[in-house]
Amino acid sequence: MITESTKKALTFRGKTIEDLKALDVREFAKYLKSRQRRSVLRQFQKIEDFVNRAKKKAEKNKLIRTHERALIIVPQMVGMKISVYSGKEFIPFEVTIQMLGHRFGEFSATRTKVKHSTAGIGATKGSKAKAKK
């Protein structure tokens, strides 16, 4: 039987989620790897605007939908349900602490697995003689 005290608390680079949520976006960037850090520092205003819009929509119980696949996930987004556009449809996912530092596009696949079935009309020599309609 696992008790509360023996459970391992989820952390990111040694910081708890409460500590991370208290940080500014630029301060959080210090805990990221270099590629993500550079991206966050360049577009911190865009990330902050998205977080503010998302919080307003969450208060009104509206869906948070976006086409922004390149945004880095920051601690203020943890717990939100976000739908990211895949090019065809919006794919929903819930942000967890393990997703910090990743991009939205990583959780919204643009390609699906091909489902092969029988050959279509005109695809083989035998099916060319059949009527197309």
Contacts for 75-79: CB closer than 8 Å, 24+ residues apart: 75/12, 75/17, 75/20, 75/21, 75/23, 75/28, 75/100, 76/21, 76/25, 76/51, 77/51, 78/17, 78/21
Name the domain count of the chain. 1
3-class DSSP assignment, residue 92: strand
Q: Classify residue 91: in a domain, yes or no.
A: yes
- pTM reported for the whole predicted model: 0.79
Q: Classify residue 121: in a domain, yes or no.
A: no
Q: Classify residue 129: in a domain, yes or no.
A: no
For β-strands 15-16 and 81-85, DSSP reports them as unpaired
CATH number of the domain that residue 50 is part of: 3.30.860.10
Question: Is there a contact between 113 and 84 (Cβ–Cβ < 8 Å)?
Answer: no
User: Looking at residue 6, what is its pLDDT?
Assistant: 54
Q: Classify residue 117: in a domain, yes or no.
A: no
- Intervals of the chain under pLDDT 70: 1-7, 127-133
User: Looking at residue 1, what is its pLDDT?
Assistant: 53
User: Looking at residue 7, what is its pLDDT?
Assistant: 59
User: Looking at residue 92, what is its pLDDT?
Assistant: 96
